[in-house]
A and B are shown apart, each in its own frame.
Chain A
Amino acid sequence: MRPSRTSYPLSWRLMDAVEAIAASVWPRSFSAAVPWLMLMPAAVLVGLLVLGLWDMADGSFRTLDTATFLPSDDYSLANYDRAFTEKLFFTVASRSLIGSLIVTAITLVFAFPYSYVMVRTRSAALRKFLLIALFLPFFIGQVVRAYGWLIILGSQGMVNEALGLVGVAPIRLLYNYPAVLFGLVQYMLPFAVLMLAPALTAIPEEMESAAGSLGANWVRTFIHVVLPLAKPGFIGAGLVVMTLSLTDFAIPAILGGGSQDFIANAIYDQFFRTSDQGMGATLALLLVAVGSIMVGVVFALFGAGTLAMGRSK
């Protein structure tokens, strides 16, 4: 005899009720829409970003009237003309672009051996140590880390004190372009390692052993096997480091001593110092455009690397 529904446990009956409510709110025929529904929050966020960019695009065509400190009613290309002709913006933009490329190159060079050892080491203790050393900086904000370098590299900092012990006079280690690049490399290294490590993990260790057994020394194995197979990781890491460096604000502001501004610093100045929101919007949009073009060129030349999520370009 079939048992009565009332003999079911209470939790079953509750679940039945919940399912019935869910089915009335979201019928089974709607199930194909579930993935889209899950995409909704991200789509809303991206939509808000696009709305903001649209607003900024509108503002970029309006000039500031210094008699009223209001944006002009009419549209013009005056801000874009300034952005392309004023020496200040060219200097800051070229410094940012060159800096981001240098930082990307150096960071990848440093990140690769770190990732390789972390992935390949047989010592669990060493792997844990490398992982902890990698994640620790994430708990310390960018600004705090930059101030840490002020303490270490300042005229009365630890490095200069150590140099003083061997009779070397204090050296100005901060407030110059190399200091900014150094700070950025230190900041970007964990990002690059995190992007490289999965790509290296995906390389079967047997491939390296096979190359060795066929007579390739370590260098040839590295050049002809490891590097080509690690390319997706290099591309993914390079893209992340390049875009983050290009748009960085805090490190140039703190370690640059005010004379090594990047584009983000110039944008801040326009928005908050001269109250020229139109010019700030223009520079911000140009930064988005330049960053997008750089990423597009890399995608076109080398593919999307690990950012392609396993699909070919």
Chain B
Amino acid sequence: MTGPSKPFLNLGRRRFLQGVGLAGAAGLVGMPFGRAFAAEPEKPKEIIVRAWGGSWVDSLKKGVSDPFTEATGIAVRHDLTEDNEIQPKVWAAVAQKRVPPIHINWDTTTNATKSALRGVTEDLSDLSNLANVTELAKPVGLDGYPIVNTYGYVYVLAYRPSAFPDGAPKSWKDLLDPKLKGRIALYNDGIGFHFPAQVAGGGKLEDIPDNMQAAWDFIAKIKEQEPLLGEDPDFTAWFQKGEIDAACTISTNAREAKANGVDIAWTVPEEGAKYDTDGLWIPKGLPENELYWAKQYINFAITKDAQQVWLDGLGLPGVVPGVNPPADLVGDPSYPTTEADFKKLIRISSKVQVEHESEWFGKFKEIMQG
């Protein structure tokens, strides 16, 4: 993992204060830092943030965690437990009125919405920096801010250019090419693929969730191609080891593979690609002081400075206006910035996804395990 550069470190405390808006609040302007923080609740030694590994946690550390520690003196420990596996632990802790095992969960919005519906999330509506974010930060279909969405991402069609000598694939239907049999990969729960499959199968997005037969028919055709089914790290490994030539995956994984020297490119096919968000949330049951500092961490994560560094690493568009895309992603379809970019993407509300996820997952598995 790489640490922050020296100048960045030097600006840490100032940037943090600008970010969280503390300097301008409660007459703290001009107050020595020590006294400013003395007015705050007692600082815990550390806060624990659940995160994904690899370039995901590296980026978070560099953009958010290290500056936060620099400014507050509170260490940030990253817990790399899988998001699906931490969820029942947090739910059990809240149900049993125990202190939860983490302070902040970096989670998919869909997963986080489940936790919000279950009532285990703290309300984050009082974060001062929510005044400066775009509407993307607000979870759809939920009251208040049980989750703060922090960026969006696209499930692109990543491909090995040498396997597509005639140029980038234009449609998801290109995956049905017989030469790609056994050479394509999807997520093992089908996430990211259901909605474009609905379009590629001749159906309409408006029919989601009531009639998704077109999606299932298309996925059944894809099954004939004997796809590999895996998770984020698998895609990078499979591209690197020459196991696959194309995959439906989050652009960050494709970008990471490219950074590792794999010959890989990505595109948003004509049917569109799923656009979704990740977010941060705090489980209920934390001591008051720890809850306060966990909120400050999230408040800092939605500042322009933090987002710029964090999301440069991920190659994803944030929720704060004015964040610049990394040089290699300017104009890239996986980094939507304009209305025209977003028109090519498919966004279905988290609430609909959460309510039907189990059913879609079962149907996808039924096809793929058959």
* Interface of A toward B, CB cutoff 8 Å: 64, 66-70, 86-88, 91-92, 95, 150, 154-156, 172, 174-175, 257-261, 266, 269, 271-277
Contact = CB atoms under 8 A, between A and B. Distances in A.
Nearest to A68: B117
A156 B241 contact: yes
Contacts of B242: 154-156
A68 B118 contact: yes
B243 interface: yes
B287 interface: no
A271 B182 CA distance: 29
B243 A154 contact: yes
Given A67-B355, A88-B362, A274-B361, A259 B369 contact: yes
Contacts of B230: 257-258
Contacts of A258: 188, 228-230, 368
Interface stretch (B82-90, B305-313, B316-324): B82-90
Given A154-B243, A155-B242, A258-B188, A86 B114 contact: no
A70 B366 contact: no
A196 B213 CA distance: 53
A14 B126 CA distance: 68
A274 B356 CA distance: 10
Contacts of B355: 66-67
B168 interface: no
B358 interface: yes
A273 B88 contact: no
Nearest to A260: B369
Contact of B358 (A70, A91, A154, A276): A276
A23 B370 CA distance: 66
Interface of B: 82, 84-85, 87-88, 114-115, 117-119, 182, 188-189, 226-230, 241-243, 354-358, 361-362, 365-366, 368-370
30 contacts: A64-B358, A67-B117, A68-B118, A69-B115, A69-B118, A69-B354, A86-B366, A87-B366, A88-B362, A88-B365, A88-B366, A91-B369, A150-B241, A154-B242, A155-B242, A172-B182, A175-B228, A258-B228, A258-B229, A258-B230, A259-B229, A260-B369, A261-B365, A272-B85, A272-B87, A273-B84, A274-B357, A275-B87, A275-B88, A275-B114
A174 B241 CA distance: 13
A273 B361 contact: yes
Contact of A261 (B241, B358, B369): B369
A174 B230 CA distance: 14
Sorted nearest first, the 6 A-B pairs with minimum C-beta distance are A258-B229, A274-B358, A272-B84, A88-B366, A69-B118, A258-B188
B243 A277 contact: no
Contacts of A172: 182
A172 B181 CA distance: 11
B361 A68 contact: no
A69 B111 CA distance: 11
A155 B241 contact: yes
A154 B238 CA distance: 10
Given A92-B369, A261-B365, A274-B362, 10 more contacts: A64-B358, A66-B354, A69-B354, A175-B228, A258-B230, A258-B368, A271-B88, A272-B82, A274-B357, A276-B358
A277 B114 CA distance: 13
A69 B114 contact: yes
A68 B117 CA distance: 5
Given A258-B368, A259-B229, A68 B119 contact: yes
A276 to B, nearest CB: 6
Nearest to A253: B188
A71 to B, nearest CB: 11
A38 to B, nearest CB: 33
A116 B362 CA distance: 47
A259 B368 contact: yes
Nearest to B87: A275
A64 B359 CA distance: 12
A30 B228 CA distance: 63
A158 B287 CA distance: 54
B143 to A, nearest CB: 14
A145 B85 CA distance: 23
A106 B242 CA distance: 31
Contacts of B227: 259
Contacts of A150: 241
A175 B186 CA distance: 14
Contacts of B354: 66, 69
A88 B358 contact: no
Nearest to B229: A258
Nearest to A69: B118
A147 to B, nearest CB: 10
A87 B356 CA distance: 18
Contact of A272 (B88, B115, B117, B362): B88
B137 to A, nearest CB: 23
Contacts of A88: 362, 365-366, 369
B362 A66 contact: no
Contacts of A269: 189, 361, 365
Contacts of A155: 241-243
A66 B369 contact: no
